[in-house]
Amino acid sequence: QKEVEQNSGPLSVPEGAIASLNCTYSDRVSQSFFWYRQYSGKSPELIMSIYSNGDKEDGRFTAQLNKASQYVSLLIRDSQPSDSATYLCAAQNYNQGGKLIFGQGTELSVKP
């Protein structure tokens, strides 16, 4: 079992819809979770971090964390074509020097 798993997609949603991206992790001691967006040929860009159970909202983005279920999600409201990218979920364990363990990424396509 991979440490961090995501559906590779592609996930296709129409413009204006809500895109829902999911991620599960296997290491129960992971403390912090991050969502990165990566456009083709570019490096990842941090869009959300979450450390506590529940929801965290930032603009059109909402991250959700459920440590009991070992589940992290990212919702993108009012999806735009410019949101089309690969979204990487990452888990972090402070006891491992803070290194990030990445999922394989979910490719999102927002159709005009």
Partner 1 sequence: GAVVSQHPSRVICKSGTSVKIECRSLDFQATTMFWYRQFPKKSLMLMATSNEGSKATYEQGVEKDKFLINHASLTLSTLTVTSAHPEDSSFYICSARPTGHNSYEQYFGPGTRLTVT
The residues that touch partner 1, with contacts defined as CB under 8 A, are: 32, 34, 36, 42-46, 49, 51, 88, 92, 94, 97-105
Q: How far is the CB of 17 from partner 1 (least distance, A)?
A: 25
Q: Minimum distance from CB of 31 to partner 1 (Å)?
A: 8
Residue 83: strand, helix, or coil: helix
Which amino acid, 90?
A: A
Round to whole Å and give the CA distance between 15 and 13. 7
Q: 66 - beta bridge partners?
A: 71
Q: Of 82, 109, 110, 108, which Cα lies nearest the Cα of 22?
A: 108
Least separation, in Å, of the C-beta of 18 and partner 1? Answer: 24
Give 99 or 111: the residue with its C-beta nearer to partner 1: 99
* Shortest separation between residue 28's beta carbon and partner 1, angstroms: 18
**Cβ-based neighbours of 41, under 8 Å, separated by 6 or more:** none
Q: Which residue, 9 or 17, is less far from partner 1 as judged by CB?
A: 9
